[in-house]
Every structure is written in structure tokens, then in C-alpha cells.
Amino acid sequence: MRKVKLEICSGTSCHLMGSFDLNQVVNNLKPQYKEHLEISVIPCLGECGEGPNIRFNGILYTQVTPERLKKMIIQSTQK
């Protein structure tokens, strides 16, 4: 199975809006989900102020909540 690419912005603007909570979602994932992910932490995704931002399979998502990220990961790895 092809890996799902997840980039989490950890720039100061996103950090202030809680990007670390998104990191924690990833850190606490069960191995069955985690093994499908290729995770990287990015210093800026260029949408400061709309954070926390992620790029998921090349598509930018803004104002991401931990719940939403969890759902996205689970859905994409079930396909």
C-alpha cells in the first residue's frame, strides 16, 4: 500500500494555535495506522494565521483540529 504523506506545520503561528496537539495525535496513533503514514514536520506552509495547518497527500488543510486529523488518518488508511 502506498504511504499517506502527512506534513504538519510547526511554525510559530501554527504552534500558537495548537499544532503540537496535532503532533500528539500522530504520536499516540496505533501502529496499524502509523505504519501507513509518512510524517514530516514543516517550518511553514505559508498560510500563517489560518493555523494549525497541515498538508495531507499534497493538499493543504487549514484550521485543523485533532479530531479532524484523526478522522482523516483513519479514513485514508482504510481505503
Partner 1 sequence: MVSTRYVNETVKIRRRVLTEVARLAMSGKLTQEVDDLPEKLVSMGNQRYRCCEYKEKAIYAERIKLALGLAQKSEYKKRRLSDLLSIALEYPDLGENQINIIDIACEGCPINKFFVTNACQNCLAHACQNACPRDAISVVQEQAYIDQNRCIECGLCKKSCPYNAIVEINRPCEASCQIGAIKSDTDRKATIDYNKCVECGACVIGCPYGAISHPSQIVKVIDYLKNNQVYAILAPAFIGQLGQKDNPGPVLRALEKLGFTKVVEVALGADIVSLEEAEEFFEKVPEQLKFMTSSCCPSFVNLIKKHYPELERHMSSTVSPMVAIAKYLKQKDPDYKVVFIGPCIAKKSEAWESGIVDAVLTFEELTAMLVAAGINVMELETEKGLENNVSGAGRGFAQAGGVAQAVGKVLENKEIIWTPINAQGLNECTELLNGLRKGKCEANFLEGMACVGGCLGGPGTLMDGKITRRFLQNICQKSEKQSAQDNNSAQIIRKDVGKGLHREK
Does residue 72 bind partner 1 (CB under 8 A)?
A: no
Q: How far is the CB of 33 from partner 1 (least distance, A)?
A: 21
Q: How far is the CB of 50 from partner 1 (least distance, A)?
A: 9
Does residue 39 bind partner 1 (CB under 8 A)?
A: no
Does residue 55 bind partner 1 (CB under 8 A)?
A: no
Q: How many CA atoms lie within 13 A of 4 on its CB side?
A: 22
Q: If we measure between CA atoms, which residue out of 63, 26, 23 comes closest to residue 47?
A: 63
Which of 7, 13, 26, 54 contacts partner 1 by CB under 8 A? 13
List the strands of the sheet with 37-42, edge to edge.
37-42, 4-9, 54-56, 59-61
